[in-house]
Amino acid sequence: MRALLQRVSRASVSVDGALIGEIGAGLLILVCAMQGDGDDKPAQLAAKIGKLRIFKDDEGRMNRSLRDVGGAALVVSQFTLAADTSRGNRPGFSTAAPPDEGRRLYEAFAQAMRDEGFPVATGEFGADMAVSLVNDGPVTIWLEV
């Protein structure tokens, strides 16, 4: 699974103009299931994200985790993280998991984040979503497990 994390002071996602998920301080997590991802990947990714020290401590150093700061997660599916731009000008997405498998792993990841003890809001898999965020830092981290 691939994920792009953005440390945010707030973030939200809407579908057809209707707000479906929002958080305050925490992480916006754009996530993509890749072909061949096993059932263990969502929990591995959630555990890694929960421990990643990308929030400021009292001295301004990135030394605190999402758990340490009591942050929330907004989890949004984004198959374009599988983009292959090595040939031509049009990205290819053949390395992304098929839609049914992608949905299952996306939902498993959101649940794994909840199981880690984080408040989680989500987007809508496969929908045309509008995501709004205030990137704190900015801090943006790429992960793959």
The answer to whether residue 122 is catalytic is no
107 SS3 class: helix
Q: Of 6, 44, 55, 80, which one is the catalytic site residue?
A: 80
Which residue matches tokens 């591995």? 44
Give the pairing of strands 26-32 and 18-23.
Answer: unpaired
- The radius of gyration computed from the CA coordinates of the chain, to the nearest angstrom, equals 15
The answer to whether residue 78 is catalytic is yes
Q: Of 55, 78, 109, 122, which one is the catalytic site residue?
A: 78
Q: Of 6, 55, 79, 109, which one is the catalytic site residue?
A: 79
The answer to whether residue 80 is catalytic is yes
- Asked if 23 and 16 count as a contact pair (C-beta separation under 8 A), the reply is no
What residues are labeled active site? Answer: 78-80
